[in-house]
Amino acid sequence: MLLPVIMAGGTGSRLWPMSRELYPKQFLRLHSENSMLQETVLRLESLEVREPVVICNEEHRFLVAEQLRQIKKLSNNIILEPIGRNTAPAIALAALNAIKDGDDPVMLVLAADHVIHDVEIFHAAVEKAIPFANANSLVTFGIVPTGPETGYGYIQRGDSIGNLDEGYKVKCFVEKPNLPTAESYIASGEYYWNSGMFMFRAKKYLEELEKFRPDIYEACKKSLCELPDGMDFITVDKESFALCPDESVDYAVMEKTTNAMVVPLDAGWSDVGSWSALWEVNEKDTNNNALTGDVFLHNTEGCYINTDEKMVAAVGVKNLVIVNTKDALLVIDKSQVQDVKKVVEYLKINQRSEYKHHRDIYRPWGKSDLVVAENRFNVNRVTVNPGGKLSTQMHHHRAEHWIILAGTAQVTIGEKTFLLTENQSTFIPIGSIHTLENPGKIPLEILEVRSGSYLGNDDVIRIKDHYGRN
């Protein structure tokens, strides 16, 4: 049985303001009801696979756990990277974890943030690759190009192996080409886009990694902690992993090994690497507009418009991307979407929150949305999932007032524990130890009013935390 390894470590900013450092692309619902991570997991259904391993940034662990819970694919195999070190180390961690009980599974390595339209063709390509991987090849899936893209690396195929078009030796990997070169690649029919999806045996990958990059291999071996913590996350030692070189699997292994193979994939793939790419893969109206949310159009063509709550009216405009979130709005020409990085740079330099997180902040127990922010008081709308528990905590600088809007809360303040339901409220003085949980079956909605001289989220002394955040 295949072991799916899903790489969910990206912190891409190319889809800002929808993607944020704390809520990147793979967690967004960009193309369906499900997030891209969820789609990636669900796309494996009907293949014979083990429970997937997800590798993500430590900061995203509760998001990953919650998104897997939502699609009823709870996983004990979430590997937490304390820092990003690119794909070669990430896959090494997954491989080392996979072989620790003497096993040697075939790993299907997937990115958590790609769109694949035709799942059956994808499955067929995966099935084709299995015998090659079993025979110790390192398989990369080569996307059959639909045009002379200059934004991707290419793979040139060599001799055919097996039946017609089942797979090829890799002749070489090439960097992102210029347009004439890309055109010659397409004309030759010998080139594929480098998708970043792979299949190989865990031990074979580690063997090749040890051969070509023993530094990465050793650093990963040292970093993988022996025991998963209480939350069933697989943790990685930060100090050791920080010493691991930052390298892609292509550079570290695939371009060097003599066992590289390519299996063609022609399944409507996109890495959705920009707003214009998202426009391309989405459904459009008769004027070529791709729309999400409450939108009114007049005399408008070729636009991508996404609004999360308020109404957007677009009149007399062409080829614009308009993305409206609770705290930031982007209006950008579709031909210049790569310049969204200028905005993110500006936000980082000015230490603004809009590059890091949304107005909604996701927590292991649910989320919190800052609806009113003033100097001396602010108001959060807090949603606690069924079974969710806030940490037992205390604040030095703020008092809190909670009103229950929906559901039932079990509140503890000092020594007292009591239930509150819709329309009831309580007050937590500065310095009181308190906690709250949702003992019910429906989400608990509360309104939290903070008041005091300092209202930052970092004024919290955690006495006990159900999620290991002490």
- Residue 372 is a binding residue for a second copy (CB under 8 A): yes
Phi and psi of 302, rounded to 5°? 65, 25
| Helix (H) or strand (E) run with residue 222 in it | helix 214-223
Of the pair 136, 336, the CB lying nearest a second copy is at: 336
- List binders of a second copy among 4-63 (CB under 8 A): 17
| Distance from C-alpha of 114 to C-alpha of 37, rounded to nearest angstrom | 9
Of the pair 246, 422, the CB lying nearest a second copy is at: 422
In this structure, the number of other CB atoms found within 10 A of the CB of residue 60 comes to 26
Question: x/- binding map, residues 332-361, to a second copy, per CB under 8 A?
Answer: xx-xx--xx-xx--xx----x-x-------
- List binders of a second copy among 374-433 (CB under 8 A): 374, 376-377, 379, 381, 399, 401, 403, 405-406, 422-423, 425, 427
**416, 418, 423, 429: CA torsion to nearest 10:** 10
Burial degree of 369 (CB within 10 A; 0-12, 13-18, 19+): middle
| Distance from C-alpha of 331 to C-alpha of 135, rounded to nearest angstrom | 51
Of the pair 260, 347, the CB lying nearest a second copy is at: 347
Is residue 197 within 8 A of residue 110, CB to CB? The reply is yes
User: Which pair of tokens denotes residue 153?
Assistant: 């690396």
Is residue 59 within 8 A of residue 92, CB to CB? The reply is no
Question: x/- binding map, residues 79-98, to a second copy, per CB under 8 A?
Answer: --------------------
Q: Please, what is the minimum distance in Å from the beta carbon of residue 451 to a second copy?
A: 5
Residue from the set 371, 419, 442, 463 that interacts with a second copy by CB under 8 A: 371
Residue from the set 65, 317, 390, 436 that interacts with a second copy by CB under 8 A: 317
Question: In 420-444, which positions are buried (b, 16+ CB within 10 angstroms) versus exposed (e)?
Answer: beeeeebebeeeebbbbbbebeeeb
Choices 66-74, 173-181, 278-286, 314-322; region in contact with a second copy by CB under 8 A: 314-322
Q: Please, what is the minimum distance in Å from the beta carbon of residue 411 to a second copy?
A: 15
User: Which pair of tokens denotes residue 179?
Assistant: 């347009």
Of the pair 218, 301, the CB lying nearest a second copy is at: 301
Of the pair 204, 450, the CB lying nearest a second copy is at: 450
Choices 48-56, 263-271, 294-302, 431-439; region in contact with a second copy by CB under 8 A: 294-302
Q: What is the DSSP letter of 450?
A: E
Of the pair 150, 425, the CB lying nearest a second copy is at: 425
Is residue 344 within 8 A of residue 16, CB to CB? The reply is yes
| Distance from C-alpha of 146 to C-alpha of 162, rounded to nearest angstrom | 25
Residue from the set 292, 307, 408, 412 that interacts with a second copy by CB under 8 A: 307
| Distance from C-alpha of 281 to C-alpha of 283, rounded to nearest angstrom | 7
Is residue 261 within 8 A of residue 169, CB to CB? The reply is yes
Residue with tokens 């067929």: 124
How many residues bind a second copy, per CB under 8 A? 54
Choices 22-30, 95-103, 221-229, 326-334; region in contact with a second copy by CB under 8 A: 326-334
Residue from the set 299, 417, 421, 453 that interacts with a second copy by CB under 8 A: 299
Residue from the set 298, 441, 458, 470 that interacts with a second copy by CB under 8 A: 298
| Distance from C-alpha of 178 to C-alpha of 180, rounded to nearest angstrom | 6
Residue from the set 1, 42, 135, 329 that interacts with a second copy by CB under 8 A: 329
Give me the half-sphere count of Cα atoms (radius 13 Å) on the Cβ side of residue 422.
4
Positions touching a second copy (CB under 8 A) are 17, 296, 298-299, 307, 310-317, 320, 322, 324, 326-333, 335-336, 339-340, 342-343, 346-347, 352, 354, 371-372, 374, 376-377, 379, 381, 399, 401, 403, 405-406, 422-423, 425, 427, 445, 447, 449, 451
